[in-house]
Amino acid sequence: MRRPHHLLALLLAPVVTGCFASGGSDAASGDAKSGSRLRVALAFPPAENLSPYGADATILSRLGVTEGLTSLDANGTAAPALAASWRRDGDSTWRFTLREATFQDGTTVTPAAVAAALTRAAAAKPAPAALSGVHLKATAAGGTDVRITTDRPDPILPLRMSSPGLAVLSAKGYRQKDRVDPVGTGTGPFRLTKVTGSTAATLDRFDDYWGGRAQSSGIDVTFVADGTARAAALRTGQADLAEAIPVAQAAGLDAATRKETATTRTTSLLLNSASGPFKDAGLRAAAREAVDTAALAKGVYEGHADAGAGVYGPAVTWAEGKRERPAGRAGAGTPKGTRITLATYDNRPELPEVAQVLKQQLEKAGFDVQLKVREYSRLESDALDGAFDAFVMARNSLVDTGDPVAVLASDYTCDGGYNVAQLCDKDVDRAVATAERTADTGEREDAAMAAEAAILRTDAVVPLVHQRIITGVGSTVRGALLDPYERTLVGTGTRR
């Protein structure tokens, strides 16, 4: 299903003209030498004033503004970041030894500062997704150590500390009671200096970064929700990096600038199981049976995705061999004109078309579907409050911690902080709790798949496709970080 895009791109190109003007002389002159500023087009405008405790956390990590105690390596293993090392100190306690580092406001990264940052995160409402179901206490322990104690044994705490939502900011970032301010308070290679509402942001190189001086002098970010406009900005040279290029626009980019990355992101149909029509398990089963996932992968995504198999897709390489078949599903009910509201967002350009195809499939099965499409920042709170009967969402299953169990706890348990499906099922909670308690890697994977089967049994989530992300990378750009976990994009070696 190929959509015409060249004319539309030309029509939209003036929308982004001038949006990438830089605050620095390098970008203004178009100089491509090492040290010039990068112009980046991001798909998601800030939804929560760039608070690290919600969806905006990945904006900060992708731009190299914030860091946690650990990071994820290419294998999904916890690697040193602000903590140079760590060790377990009892069943429920870990000690993290900090490296020498400086906050972007010039203050020193100390155990007390880290403990204060983690304490603030633990008290946030709602809690960061990485802390879903986990209660922790952080304290300074000597000259270089931070002690973190959890309410129960947590074998994956070092992975949890890699979450963008647990970034460490200086004391200045927490001065306001009701707001966290990342401007000039992070620890990464780029310092956020200015945020222009939900349209733009300016970052300068942080020369005292512990990991070495970045090769670019700064970043000029424009938030461009329209995917066609992002592709046009890259094609016309107004952007050096553009994330989430629509599949309809991919063919219009030079092959050398079109980078496709297999990711751990799954697009799913989430059904509100707590209220409205989909409180009925039979109607949820009817919706699941109405969906043709292969048609979505081949049609909407033009082969740049795989048909949905579960919460985890092919990029989670161990999952398929351990997948369990859901048992005990309800029989499909009869919709008989049941009216439902189906919502999604347009920041990920394929989602509105996915929702339109789903609307047709569900209506063919007998549902009466009202479709709502908004920009994500205008939709998130309603989705989390259960305002819609059905919601199409693209979710990275490993973005919060790198641990396969974490997304199950945050998205599908009674106390989950990102539970758009409003699911509260005792069998699911029990299965997730079992997985959370399992320390051995192989056994934890087995338990995660058992929990996935329990979740799929409820039909509160219908996996649609497993995505591959297309990133636009300008021909002069080197060192872009194309991360399957979608946590990084720009680092010390990224330059043009």
Contacts 24+ apart (CB under 8 A), 206-213: 206/104, 208/102, 208/106, 209/492, 210/99, 210/100, 210/101, 210/102, 211/492, 212/492, 213/189, 213/492
Q: In CATH, what number is assigned to the domain containing residue 275?
A: 3.10.105.10
pLDDT of res. 74: 79
- Section 180-199 average pLDDT: 96
Please give the residue range of the domain that contains residue 162.
Answer: 70-172
Question: Is the domain of 401 the same as that of 307?
Answer: yes
Whether pLDDT at 2 is above 70: no
Whether pLDDT at 333 is above 90: yes
Question: Is the domain of 242 the same as that of 142?
Answer: no
- CA nearest 194: which of 183, 186, 205? 183
> What letter would DSSP give residue 108?
B
Whether pLDDT at 34 is above 80: no
Model's pTM, two decimal places?
A: 0.75
Check if the beta carbon of residue 104 is closer than 8 Å to that of residue 120: no
Residue type, 157: L
Q: In CATH, what number is assigned to the domain containing residue 227?
A: 3.40.190.10
Residue-wise DSSP of 307-357: E--SSS-TTSTTHHHHPPPP-SPPPP---TT-EEEEEEESSSTTHHHHHHH
Distances (CA, A) of 195 to 92, 173, 202, 494: 39, 15, 7, 22
Distances (CA, A) of 117 to 74, 137, 180, 232: 27, 11, 10, 40
Question: Is the domain of 353 the same as that of 326?
Answer: yes
Question: Is the domain of 347 the same as that of 451?
Answer: yes
Question: Is the domain of 399 the same as that of 276?
Answer: yes
Please tell me the total count of domains within the chain.
3
pLDDT of res. 33: 44
1 domain residue, yes or no: no
Question: Is the domain of 308 the same as that of 441?
Answer: yes
Question: Is the domain of 135 the same as that of 214?
Answer: no
Residue type, 229: A
496 domain residue, yes or no: no
Distances (CA, A) of 145 to 113, 167, 209: 11, 17, 20
- Section 351-364 average pLDDT: 97
pLDDT of res. 9: 35
Whether pLDDT at 11 is above 70: no
The band of 466, judged by pLDDT with boundaries at 50, 70 and 90, is very high
pLDDT of res. 422: 98
Q: Cβ contacts of residue 104 below 8 Å, gap of 6+?
A: 170, 184, 185, 186, 187, 188, 191, 206
Map residue 79 onto helix, strand or coil. strand
- Section 225-240 average pLDDT: 94
Token pair 């409205």 is found at: 276
Q: Which tokens belong to 50?
A: 């760039």
Question: Is the domain of 367 the same as that of 448?
Answer: yes
Q: In CATH, what number is assigned to the domain containing residue 99?
A: 3.90.76.10
**How far apart (Å, rounded) are the C-alpha atoms in residues 37 and 217?**
5
pLDDT digits (tens, 9 = 90+) for 103-136: 999 999 999 999 999 999 999 987 888 887 789 9
Whether pLDDT at 39 is above 80: yes
